[in-house]
Each structure stands twice: as C-alpha cells, then as structure tokens.
Amino acid sequence: MGMFSKAIKCIIPVLILWSAGGDYISGAGKPRFSIGVGFAETINAGLKFRSGGKTQMGISLGTWPSPGSYIFDWNSLISLSGDFYYHFGRQAFEQTLPCWYVRSGIDYMRLRFDDDIDSNMELHIRFGRDFYISEISGIGLDAGVAVFVMNESGLTPVLPAIGINLFFLF
C-alpha cells in the first residue's frame, strides 16, 4: 500500500498544477466517462473534466488480466492514470472540444506476483484525435512515447504509448 499512496501523492499535485494554468473545473462542459485500453493505462474506466476553453483533465483506473504465461504471470495488476489534454483544430459539433489533442500524463502500475510486488511509474506524451459518433459520444485514438521514472519490473525505460477509448458525455 505504501507505493500506491506514493503514486497518488505524485499524481494529485501534478493535476492541481496543470489545472492552475487555466480555468478551474467548473460547468465549462459536460464531464466525459470513458472506457478503453492502452499502454500503460491497461483496460480502464475514467472521467475527464473540462478545465478551460480547450483543456481537459482526466483520471482513470485500470487492470489487466493475467493469462499465466511466462511474460504475463502476475496475480494482479492495477493502474492509476492522470492526464492533461490540450485540444486544437476544428470542432465536430458546436458544443464539443476540437477534435485533435496533445495528451501528457503519468501512469502508476502495481503488479503483484506470488513472491513480491513491483511498482512502475511512467510519464507520457501523446498526440490523438477524437472521432465523434454523435454530440455525446465518440472514439478517441492516441499514440506517443512513455518514459519510466520508476521501473521495478525491468521493462525498457522508453516504450511506445498508445490508447483507444470509447467516451460518453454526461
């Protein structure tokens, strides 16, 4: 539990600092609920809040099942992600954010094995696009690079970061 609380202590100040540059979370737009899959946020569910004219902050919680193979042999994996989004370009609908975005964030992963627990934390930057299906739903795709700042699992320090999610506006 110690590493998990350390990760939360790292993510919360980052989100607060990101939001300090723009308007604070308010009724600037409808919150988004999303479900998705990606590296390193795993299979996840999250919320995104509009924090200014073209910015969003998001948080998600995820997991990844272990098939018991040599590479994926953990008993449990939990991920916690915090992200900042800056949207630009053309809007799909009058009340939506622009379709293109830059996403930066931090992901914490906790893997529990039979013998021990590994904690990993990475920072990422991604470029992406929202494809609106309607004014209240769509699909987001993004790709970029992730750099590990805490790496107990022995993964390569720099990896591709990718994600896809289905989102719904409340």
pLDDT at 85 over 60: yes
Q: What is the mean pLDDT of the chain?
A: 82
pLDDT of 40 above 90: no
The CA distance from 55 to 68, in Å, is 40
| Contact between residue 121 and residue 14 where contact means Cβ atoms under 8 Å apart | no
* Spatial CB neighbours of 168, under 8 Å, sequence gap ≥ 6: 32, 33, 34, 136, 137
Topology given in CATH for the domain delimited by 2-169: Porin (2.40.160)
pLDDT at 116: 77
pLDDT tens per residue across span 1-27:
454 455 555 555 554 444 444 444 434
The domains of the chain are located at: 2-169
Q: Cα 108–55–88 angle (5° rounding)?
A: 115
Residue 101: is it exposed, middle or buried by C-beta count within 10 angstroms (0-12/13-18/19+)?
buried
What pLDDT does residue 23 have?
Answer: 42
Residue 112: the pLDDT is 74
